[in-house]
Amino acid sequence: MADGEAVPNSGAGPALWVAGAVVVLEGRVLLVKRLVAEGQLSWQFPAGKVEPGETFEEAAVRETKEEAGLDVVALSRLGERVHPITGRPVSYTACEVVSGTAHAADLDEIAEIAWVTLSEIPRYIPYGLFDPVQRYLDVALRAM
């Protein structure tokens, strides 16, 4: 699937795509804690279902605003996979903060937010990150 391509997502398929935003600011990455965990999956990147006609990047930007109150722009798509815990197809997009202060904006879904350093990530996500996301963060968070 090419960057910027709308996702065929009529809702009729067996699995809806999820878009995740990898937001880095001042040497930390944004994580949100869900009110309801999916197994080990409690802390994660801002993420949610891609709406019909929406690109992965557009969904990542929208979900970051809805969940964490931040205005971001998409920089690049990092990759896609079937998530090993949820079994859902997920696309990850690197995003940059434009404005706002991160907070738990969707109180029906988000319990809290955290800005996490590279060395702290395993405490929040003990099962490890998707390799392309890990490689991106290895560079983005060490560059600060």
- Is 9 within a domain? no
**pLDDT at 8 exceeding the cut of 60:** no
- Is 8 within a domain? no
- Is 135 within a domain? yes
**pLDDT at 39 exceeding the cut of 80:** no
Our count of domains for the chain comes to 1
pLDDT in tens, 88-130: 999 999 999 999 999 999 989 999 999 999 999 999 999 899 9
Strands (E), the chain: 18-25, 28-38, 41-44, 47-49, 71-82, 89-99, 110-116
CATH number of the domain that residue 133 is part of:
3.90.79.10
